[in-house]
A and B are shown apart, each in its own frame.
Chain A
Amino acid sequence: MLILTCPCCGVTGEETEFHQGGEAHLTRHGPGASDDEFHTYMFAKENPKGVHFERWRHNNGCGKWFHAARDTMTLEVYGTYPAQTLEPPQEIRDAITAKRPGWTWREFA
C-alpha cells in the first residue's frame, strides 16, 4: 500500500484515493516530430526496479495532478511535488540520494 501526500490539498491518503497517471516528465512529441521521437514518447517507457518518477491524480480528493518520486521495490515514497515542474526538484533528488546513493533515472540523477 502506497501512502501519498497530495501537494495540492495536503491530504496524506492511501493509494486508493489517488490514480496513477504514467511516467513523469515526458516530452509530448506530436505533429512535426520524427518517427523516432514519437515512437520513443509513445512506447519507450521506464520500468525500473527502484527509483521511479510518476504522475498521479488525487481523483477521489481535490482532483489535481501532481508528481511523485517513489521506489517500485520498497513502495517508499521519497516525496511529492507540483505537476508544474519539468524535472524533479533538488530537495526530492536529495531525499532519494540519502537512501539510494548513485541513483539515476532517465536523464536525471
Chain B
Amino acid sequence: MSEAVTPLNGARVNGLATIADAGLTGMITLRGDLSSAEVKAAVQKATGLDVPAQRQALSGQGAAALWMSPDELLLICDYDGVAETIATLEEALRGQHFLAVNVSDARTYLHVSGTGAREILAKLCPVDLSPEAFTPGMFRRTRMAQVPAAFWLDEAGTFHLICFRSVADYAFNLLKTAALPGGEVGVYG
C-alpha cells in the first residue's frame, strides 16, 4: 500500500491571507437526478446532509455537499471513509440511474483565510466577492487566472477552494503572489 499524499504536501503561506493545503480529503462525485427522493435519501444517509440548492454548499460534521451542476454533487468526507460512503450511496441508489466515484486524488483542496481572503480571490476570479454579494454557504465554480476552480465560504470566513491536482502548484503560487504584502487593494474595506 502506497502512502497517499496531497499534491502540495502540507504547504502553507502567510500573507494578506493564509493559504494552506487542507490535507487529504475524501471527495466523491455523485451524478443523478438531484430532485429525486432517492438521491435526497441517499445523500442524507451517506453524509447526514440534504441535497444543496443550486450553487450552495452544505457543511456538517466532517462532511460537505457541494452543488456542482444540475445533475452533479461533490461530496466531501474523511479520506479513509470514502469506500464506506460510496457503498452507502450505492446501496441506497440500487436500481436508480446514478454514478458515484471516488475522486479524492483528482483535486487539490486549499483553505484561504484571514482578512485578505476575499480580496486575493477577487484578484484572480471574475466573481463579485464583496461581503454583500458572496455570503457563507455559497458555492461558485469559476476561473482562477488560467484554470478552473471552485470555492465555498464557511461561517468562520474561511474559503474552501478546490482545483485540479495537475495545477496545484500553479494555483498555490497564484494565491501566494496575490497575497504578497504590499499588494493590498482595500476594495472590500
Complex Cα distance, B68 from A89, in Å, reads: 27
Complex Cα distance, B114 from A73, in Å, reads: 44
A8 contacts the other chain (CB 8 A) = yes
Interface residue range, chain B: 10 to 19
- Interface segment, A9-17, A26-34, A36-44, A95-103? A9-17
Q: How far is the CB of A62 from chain B (nearest CB, A)?
A: 4
Q: List chain A residues, Cβ under 8 A from B142.
A: 11, 13, 17, 60-61
Question: Is A9's CB under 8 angstroms from B126's CB?
Answer: no
Q: What per-residue 1/0 map shows which CB atoms of B41-67 lie under 8 Å from chain A?
A: 000000000000011000000000000
User: Which of these, B70, B126, B127, B143, contacts A62 with CB under 8 Å?
Assistant: B70
Chain A at the B interface: SS class: loop
Given contacts A10-B54, A14-B126, contact A60 B143 (CB under 8 A): yes
Question: Is B143's CB under 8 angstroms from A17's CB?
Answer: yes
A93 contacts the other chain (CB 8 A) = no
Which of A10, A16, A17, A59 gathers most chain B CB within 10 Å? Answer: A17
B148 contacts the other chain (CB 8 A) = yes
Q: List chain B residues, Cβ under 8 A from A63.
A: 69
State which residues 55-94 of A face B: CB under 8 Å.
Answer: 59-64
Question: Is A61's CB under 8 angstroms from B141's CB?
Answer: yes
Question: Is B143's CB under 8 angstroms from A11's CB?
Answer: no
Question: Is A62's CB under 8 angstroms from B69's CB?
Answer: yes
Q: How far is the CB of B161 from chain A (nearest CB, A)?
A: 14
B140 contacts the other chain (CB 8 A) = yes
Q: What per-residue 1/0 map shows which CB atoms of B138-181 lie under 8 Å from chain A?
A: 00111100001000000000000000000000000000000000
Complex Cα distance, B141 from A79, in Å, reads: 21
Q: List chain A residues, Cβ under 8 A from B148.
A: 59-60
Question: Is B55's CB under 8 angstroms from A9's CB?
Answer: yes
User: Which of these, A8, A13, A59, contacts B126 with CB under 8 Å?
Assistant: A13
Question: Is A64's CB under 8 angstroms from B70's CB?
Answer: yes
Q: How far is the CB of B181 from chain A (nearest CB, A)?
A: 28
Q: List chain A residues, Cβ under 8 A from B140.
A: 11
Complex Cα distance, B126 from A61, in Å, reads: 12
Q: How far is the CB of A84 from chain B (nearest CB, A)?
A: 12
Q: List chain A residues, Cβ under 8 A from B126.
A: 13-14, 16-17
Q: List chain A residues, Cβ under 8 A from B69.
A: 8-9, 62-64
9 CB < 8 A contacts A-B = A8-B69, A8-B70, A9-B70, A11-B55, A11-B141, A13-B126, A13-B127, A17-B143, A64-B69
- Shortest 3 CB-CB contacts between residues of A and residues of B: A62-B69, A60-B143, A60-B148
